[in-house]
Chain A
Amino acid sequence: MRGKGRAVCLGADIDTDVIIAGRYLRTKDRSIWAKHVFEDLDSDLAPRLSGAVIVAGKNFGCGSSREQAAIALKEAGVIAVVAPSFARIFFRNAINIGLALIEADLGCPEGETVRFDLESGWVELGGKRSRLRPLSPHMLDILRAGGLVAYWRVKR
């Protein structure tokens, strides 16, 4: 689980209503969520997310349990989300759909390159590496499989 991407910075307490508004939930078409992600925050943001690592403030993903929020980010091309803390259901959802989350405080390095390796447990910004609390082996298995659906599809 290695990756890198360009930092796109957001504030603290980003809630799932802001990630994907309730009015777009009644569909199974994932491209709609990717297109409207963060629409109420900044309507120019969605096209800039491909290949991005979102670097946010604390409590990212708070609010409703809608899994579409994590899916929307993944579909929009987000590589990983870095934040000092995540709302717990969002955290579960992201792991379950195979979106990498990194618990770290990187400040606001807009446009800089962020690298990470979840298996070895580090994140790197501007040549400075910080250690991460390791995910459990079970969680890493799920991420490696590309999410819980794929994990169970192959597991007997």
Chain B
Amino acid sequence: MSSLSERILGARAGEYIDRKVDRAYVHDGTGVLTLEAWKGMGSRGLFDPSRISVIFDHIVPANNSTTATLQHELREFAKGSFLHFSDIGGGICHQCMSEGVVLPGEVVVGADSHSCTLGAFGAFATGVGATDMAAIWLTGETWFKVPHSIGIRLQGAITGAAEAKDVALAYVGQLGMDGGSYKALEFIGDGTGSLCMDDRLLLCNLAAETGAKTGMFYADDITVDYLARYGQSAGEQEKEPCDYVQELEINLADVEPLIAVPPRVDTVRAVRDLAGLPVDQVFVGTCTNGRYSDLARFACMVRGNKVAVRTIVVPASREVMKEAIRTGVLTDIVEAGCSIGTPGCGPCLGAHMGVIGEGEVCLSTANRNFRNRMGIGGEIYLASVATAAATALEGEITEPGVP
């Protein structure tokens, strides 16, 4: 009767434990602070360089000389210390770690709030701060409070114009921005079998938006097949019944295209309620919706047409971009008039490459729509790739048609 978190961490919910980690990763933003804190602790060694990743994704390529100088120091350190290093253009840290690195049952920490994404593999994956990470670099372990778990029971399969993103917005809307605080979300039920790894990564990604420590799926045949494509062999995890502190049930077939209205990700409405609202920019990408299946779906909808507003598409990783080039998906997107960014976070955090202006509205496939996040005085609506494509073609918020 244990939750997946309890099984992996080997302790009961509520306990404080010290635990060794299997993987630790930082990005260019948090990595700079981690390095500084690690030096402050006396530069006393690294627990295992092969298990420490440094992935440049947040401001890539560098936007000014201050950023470039900070990145230079971290880059030299990562290379000189033989860490697992991914330079600009390799992709978003969570995506890179999902491409055959993280395995079921592992304890994974990332210095980024969306590290929960990797719980999709049946790992215990969670975000920590930069100073936390420095102590982890040093010792290979950290303290955790073992979370209580919320069960999100999924039934059936997604139909019509809806996507996994709409399912994610549905549960975030129901739980609210702190409904998952300190807890783990476990996705269970027959419906999980109808979701591919890209869908699962997305559903775990948005767990952060409820304040949850992580989101998790049990590793099954879909997980095993996915990892085999990257040359990794993994086992399935046996499902056990568990007493959840709360259970939520979602019938996947009932989910329709949804949209999160700024400035809160838990203000969720049907896309049709906002139809006709003009937008200035559409952004497709991020650790939420920048995977190959997302780009392919977008290309499918814009192929042969022209977008009516400026549209930025950023592949989540180089692997995603390569696949999109190989299959012609990227050509379709460029021919439709979209602009392509270097694999990475792109304009998601409002630092460069697609910042929006005062009074502008962006329809984004990301996970956060806080005030000013993508630019001072700008507003962000969050929706699925299909909604983004329909909106890009019309220049105003548009409910996608059933494919």
Contact = CB atoms under 8 A, between A and B. Distances in A.
Interface string A70-97: 1000000000000001011100110011
Interface residues of A, number: 39
Given A28-B32, A63-B370, A153 B42 contact: yes
A58 B44 CA distance: 38
A67 B178 contact: no
Nearest to B110: A65
A83 to B, nearest CB: 11
B237 interface: no
A59 interface: yes
Contacts, number: 115
A93 B213 CA distance: 14
B129 A92 contact: yes
A147 B36 CA distance: 14
A58 to B, nearest CB: 6
Nearest to A135: B16
Nearest to B368: A63
Interface residues of B, number: 45
Interface stretch (B132-140, B285-293, B308-316, B384-392): B132-140
A23 interface: yes
A96 B177 contact: no
A84 B355 CA distance: 34
Given A65-B127, A88-B211, A25 B29 contact: yes
Contacts of A58: 178
Nearest to B370: A17
A153 B40 contact: yes
A9 to B, nearest CB: 19
A13 interface: yes
A149 interface: yes
B373 A147 contact: no
Contact of B132 (A15, A62, A148): A148
Given A28-B70, A59-B178, A152-B41, A89 B131 contact: no
A23 B211 contact: no
Nearest to B59: A26
Contacts of B370: 15, 17-18, 63
A26 B129 contact: no
Given A67-B129, A138-B16, A88 B213 contact: yes
A152 B33 contact: no
Nearest to B377: A40
A97 B211 contact: no
B131 A62 contact: no
A113 B42 CA distance: 39
A22 interface: yes
A68 B111 CA distance: 13
A64 interface: yes
Contact of B16 (A21, A93, A136, A147): A136
Nearest to A64: B113
Contacts of B376: 40
A73 to B, nearest CB: 14
B138 A65 contact: no
B313 to A, nearest CB: 21
Given A65-B127, A138-B16, A149 B371 contact: no
Interface string B334-356: 00000000000000011100000
A92 B126 CA distance: 12
Interface in B94-142: 111-113, 127-132, 134-135, 138
B182 interface: yes
Given A59-B178, A67-B30, A138-B143, A89 B372 contact: no
A96 B135 CA distance: 10
A150 B40 CA distance: 8
B66 interface: yes
B181 interface: yes
Given A26-B66, A62-B177, 8 more contacts: A18-B371, A27-B66, A68-B33, A87-B181, A93-B132, A96-B129, A138-B16, A152-B135
3 smallest CB-CB distances across A and B, nearest first, come from: A93-B129, A59-B178, A152-B41
13 contacts: A13-B178, A26-B67, A65-B30, A88-B181, A89-B113, A89-B127, A89-B129, A93-B131, A97-B131, A149-B40, A149-B131, A150-B40, A152-B42
Interface of A: 13, 15, 17-18, 21-23, 25-28, 40, 58-59, 62-68, 70, 85, 87-89, 92-93, 96-97, 136, 138-139, 147-150, 152-153
Interface of B: 16, 29-30, 32-33, 36-37, 40-42, 44, 59, 64, 66-67, 70, 111-113, 127-132, 134-135, 138, 143, 177-178, 181-182, 211, 213, 264, 349-351, 368, 370-373, 376
